[in-house]
Amino acid sequence: MLIGFDVGGTKIEAAALAEDGETLARERVATPRRDYAGGVRAIADLVAGLESRLGPAQGVGLGVPGSLSPTTGLMRNANSTWLNGKPLKRDLEAALGREVRLENDANCLAVSEAVDGAGAGARVAFAVILGTGCGGGVAIDGRAVGGRNAIAGEFGHNPLPWAAGAAEQPGPPCWCGRRGCIETFLSGPGFARLHNPGGAPLTAEEIVTAARDGDGAAKASLEIYADRLARSLASVANLLDPDVFVLGGGMSNVGELYDGLSERIAAYVFSDAFSTPVRPAAHGDSSGVRGAAWLWRR
């Protein structure tokens, strides 16, 4: 048995997987927001509960926002900012009394989908999380690629490419301290801000529903979002040229985004042809925990 965790800003999810990928159990608790010690305890308690029911795990893996600094071993670049500057891996290993493996959550999504999901059989998979934030991850031959500085795939904190006028330059402020990051445009809150510049209380989900009901303004907002997504993915294609793009997170469930998306991307790609598929994550919300468990896959 392997245990994987998806540590998010609002929930911590754990799953116990058999080596053939069968889900043996799943548990979810609310994230103790801004309570780092409480989060460590919650993870340790979930491991203890699963092992009491299913027996000892052969490995525990975690998908987390941000990454561990190769220099300090401390968390950084997490939009769940209370994790930043903390020795999360070290503290979890102390709490559990064993080694844990920890990767960026988008890398875990990429691993999950490359092993037995929407990217199965692809040598190079690029995964994107379109949720509260916007992250990217790379898997090659089913293994996460973190890079020398543990930032591989972090396209969400590049500027939006081919920016279109004053509406996109310099762009909204990002929690990272810069302006105009792709995350500020492609995250769920970024989509809501696009449609509600005056702060009207419509969520991303409500805007999509309005578009499906024929609301012209909502449909226009969805069109702009799709173009921004295409430009962002094209910049990745020009740099990495992956075999497949896999989308996860709440916005990945908007089926209308996939209509004509490859053609939109092709308009910005430095090639005479573009055939890379863009697919929703086959395992949906379970992909993060599955990929974290697969960090121990032989």
| Distance from the Cα of residue 44 to its chain's centroid | 23
pLDDT at 155: 96
Domain boundaries, the chain: 2-107+286-296, 120-281
53-108 tens-digit pLDDT: 999 999 999 999 999 999 999 999 998 889 999 999 999 999 999 999 999 999 99
Tell me what percent of the residues of the chain surpass a pLDDT of 90. Answer: 91
CATH architecture for residues 120-281? 2-Layer Sandwich (3.30)
Long-range contact set of residues 152-156: C-beta below 8 Å, sequence gap at least 24? 152/107, 153/104, 153/106, 153/107, 153/110, 153/126, 153/127, 154/77, 154/104, 155/128, 155/182, 155/232, 155/235, 155/236, 156/181, 156/182, 156/183, 156/186, 156/187
Tell the burial category of 199 from Cβ atoms under 10 Å away from its Cβ (0-12, 13-18, 19+): exposed
pLDDT at 151: 94
pLDDT at 132: 87
CATH topology identical between 2-107+286-296 and 120-281: yes
Average pLDDT rounded to a whole number, residues 156-175 = 93
Residue 116's Cβ-side half-sphere holds a number of Cα atoms within 13 Å equal to 10
The topology under which CATH files domain 2-107+286-296 is Nucleotidyltransferase; domain 5 (3.30.420)
pLDDT at 200: 65
Q: Which two tokens stand for residue 265?
A: 């991307």
221-231 tens-digit pLDDT: 999 999 999 99
**How much is the pTM?**
0.92
pLDDT at 79: 83
Q: Which two tokens stand for residue 290?
A: 């599955």
39-54 tens-digit pLDDT: 999 999 999 999 999 9
